[in-house]
Amino acid sequence: MNSIELRRKIHQNPELSFEEYQTQSLIIEALEAEGIEYRKIAGTGVLAKIEGKRGNLQRCVVLRADIDALPIKEQNNISFCSKNEGVMHACGHDIHTAILFGVLQELNKERNFEGTLFGIFQPGEELNPGGASLVLKETPFEGYDVAAVIGQHVDARFEVGEIAICPGVFMASNDELRFYVRGKGGHAARRGDIHDTVTAMADMVMRTTALNSPNGVVSIGRVIADGATNVIPDLVSAEGTMRTFDSEERERIHSHLHSNARAIEERYGVEVEVDINHGYPSVKNDMMLSYEAMIIAQDEGIRVRDIARIPMAEDFGFYTERYPSLFYRLGVGNEAGGSHSATFLPDESAIAVGERMMRRMALHILNK
């Protein structure tokens, strides 16, 4: 099986986060056919291992691909369209998986490198707590000197044959926000008899979005006030997201959310509950790895594009917290459309580019 064949099989059989049982089986089948050592990890993931023929086998490089899909009904007219109703590889994780398999397949043939190469086929990137956190919880690299963790993500803003690298802080941390305002509801015309939960929540939302800054994004996407034109409910809830680029800003906003809640309680005579579901840490690219990757890409005839930090989140941030790491964008062509959409369709020729880049990075680091 080659990487494109694996990609199409996985694309036809997409599975949601932490439900990737068939995907896991397809990956295992492909690895077994190549005689590559592996074990299951993080429930529905797979950890592959290839030892080189020389050097210190305790020194290693880790390559990572995510394998989960999204709850989207595919609308592409292709021979390998999703067979799972309402589930689709709309974020390109099938491409990531295919690239990682192709690299392992190639490097396993000769094993002409120093140290040990690991490949993580990681579940649950799209859902808290993030599959990366579960992988690391199993301490799979204990006793190893991890020289680098390398990952990549498809990006339709760049053409096939291009990659984009942002040295340093690249992607934001993410937290899920939930607010609950409880008060005394009743007839909307009897203002003196109620503690207005709707107005209190509106004030909480305005104070929350006022916390937006160049280093932090705070947005509320859902508000539920199940009353009527003349009924104020006892409970109003709201949900949103928060993105920051450094831990200090993250803690500052958390603190403001709680102090705002106390101010709302005092002003409106209500109770305010703030529930912060801590998500992924920010993705921080190692500076040296970033510049080495730029040189290697140019040597491979791959065009390097600049990219500014973005307020999107990725559980790859868990790896960057612990090891020297690099996460870059892989061009799949503007015609691929927008990711997380029902018609997202990356150009498969990007797989070969991704394989070349990841393979060269792995060999460069291992053979230093």
pLDDT tens track for 161-183: 999 999 999 999 999 999 999 99
**Smallest Cα–Cα separation from 360: which of 289, 262, 310, 306?**
289
Residues contacting residue 352 through CB under 8 Å, at least 6 positions apart: 102
- Exposure of 325 in the CB half-sphere (CA atoms within 13 A): 24
Residues 136-168 have pLDDT tens digits of 999 999 999 999 999 999 999 999 999 999 999
pLDDT score of 320: 98
Do the beta carbons of residue 314 and residue 283 sit within 8 Å? yes
Confidence class of residue 368 from pLDDT cuts 50, 70 and 90?
confident
What is the pLDDT averaged over residues 56-73?
98
Q: What is the mean pLDDT of the chain?
A: 97
pLDDT exceeds 90 at position 133: yes
pLDDT score of 60: 98
Could you write out the DSSP letters of every residue in 25-47? HHHHHHHHHHT-EEEEETTTEEE
What is the pLDDT averaged over residues 33-61?
97
What is the pLDDT averaged over residues 72-101?
98
**Smallest Cα–Cα separation from 18: which of 47, 40, 42?**
42
Distance from C-alpha of 151 to C-alpha of 120, rounded to nearest angstrom: 10
User: What is the percent of the chain with per-residue pLDDT over 90, rounded to a whole number?
Assistant: 98
Residues contacting residue 295 through CB under 8 Å, at least 6 positions apart: none
Distance from C-alpha of 325 to C-alpha of 212, rounded to nearest angstrom: 29
pLDDT score of 360: 97
pLDDT score of 79: 97
Whole-number Cα distances in Å, 135 to 44, 47, 160: 10, 9, 31
Tokens of 128: 């808290």
Q: Which residue has the tokens 């690391």?
A: 136
Distance from C-alpha of 224 to C-alpha of 198, rounded to nearest angstrom: 9
Q: Cβ-count burial of 69 within 10 angstroms (0-12 exposed, 13-18 middle, 19+ buried)?
A: buried
Do the beta carbons of residue 168 and residue 287 sit within 8 Å? yes
Distance from C-alpha of 282 to C-alpha of 278, rounded to nearest angstrom: 12
pLDDT score of 215: 87
pLDDT score of 65: 98
All structural domains of the chain, each given as residue ranges with its CATH number in brackets, are 3-171+282-366 (3.40.630.10), 173-278 (3.30.70.360)
DSSP, collapsed to helix, strand or coil, labels residue 146 as strand
Q: State how beta strands 283-285 and 59-66 pair.
A: unpaired
Q: Is the peptide bond before 129 cis (omega within 30 degrees of 0)?
A: yes
**Smallest Cα–Cα separation from 152: which of 1, 332, 21, 12?**
332
Radius of gyration of the chain (CA): 23
- Please state the pTM of the whole predicted model: 0.93
Distance from C-alpha of 322 to C-alpha of 146, rounded to nearest angstrom: 10
Residues 245-303 have pLDDT tens digits of 988 999 999 999 999 999 999 999 999 999 999 999 999 999 999 999 999 999 999 99
pLDDT exceeds 90 at position 57: yes
**Smallest Cα–Cα separation from 273: which of 337, 217, 204?**
204
Express the helix, strand and coil content of the chain in percent, nearest 5 each.
35, 30, 35
pLDDT score of 153: 98
Distance from C-alpha of 244 to C-alpha of 207, rounded to nearest angstrom: 17
